[in-house]
Each structure stands twice: as structure tokens, then as C-alpha cells.
A = this chain, B = another copy of it.
Amino acid sequence: MPKMTPQMLEAFIKSDFPEVAHVGYKVSELTDRSITVTIETSESDLRPGGTVSGPTMMSLVDLTMYLLLLAQIGPVALAVTTNLNINFLRKPNPGKLRGEGRLLKLGKSLATGDVSLYSEGVSEPVAHATVTYAIPPAKNT
């Protein structure tokens, strides 16, 4: 069972990541192996033509994997992204953007997962990414 609930994860973003809190991440369908994180894109996330910008998609990918990891190990550790590989597949629409994360490996020092991004009104994934986080060694006390 995850160590953190969706509500705990949302509260953690607000307290520890004030600079992205305004994005309004919503966490749902959290299990030991998977998570869904949804945002509502705003004007500043859009590119000319009304499509969602790459950086907005990469941010959601990174945060989806981060929250999936924190849910398993708890908010104590300071994990950092070491590798992110993303394929942009289709043009997203403005509106809701949804990241579906899946944990592929939770090791002692590395965690790897993949994230599929879905856009409101597009049935196939608009992007797919794999992400690896390094987990710092637990401090002995």
C-alpha cells in the first residue's frame, strides 16, 4: 500500500513546491504501481495554434513520476531526476492534460517508470516518457 494518499501528495506540492502549486495538480487512482495526475492547462501553457507546449508536458511527466515515487517511499527523501526520455506523439488540445504513471522498478538507489500523457478529446496518448529518479541513501540516526 502506498505510504501517502492523493491528499497527502497534493498537500506536499503546496507546501514544498510553492512555485508550481498554482498549476493545481490533482492526484487520483494511486496504487503501489501506478498513479494518475491531472492538470488544467492555462494560457501560459499554450503555443501558437492552441497546442500545449513541450515544457508543460515535460513538467507533468516529471511530476507524475515524482509523486508516484514519493507515494511509495514517503516524503522524507530528496529524490532527483537523473534521466528523462520523452517521445512527442500527437498534438495535445488545450484543457485537461493527464499523466498516467507506471512504476517499472523501485530499487534502493534508482527508481524507473514510464508516463503516458493524455489530452482531453484525444483518445491516443499525446506523449510517452520514461523517467529515472535517484534516491539518496537514508541517513542513519
Which residues of A does B touch, CB under 8 Å? 16-17, 19, 43-44, 46-48, 53-55, 58-59, 62, 80-90, 104-105, 109-110, 112, 114, 116, 124-125, 128, 130, 132, 134
Contacts and interface: CB of A to CB of B under 8 A. Distances in A.
A89 B62 contact: no
User: Taking the full assembly, how many copies of this chain does it contain?
Assistant: 4
A138 to B, nearest CB: 14
B48 A54 contact: no
B87 A16 contact: no
Contacts of A44: 19
Interface of A is mostly: strand
Given A55-B58, A84-B58, A85-B85, A128 B110 contact: no
Nearest to A112: B87
Given A54-B84, A85-B130, A89-B104, A17 B62 contact: no
B59 A55 contact: yes
Nearest to A49: B78
Contacts of A112: 87, 89, 128
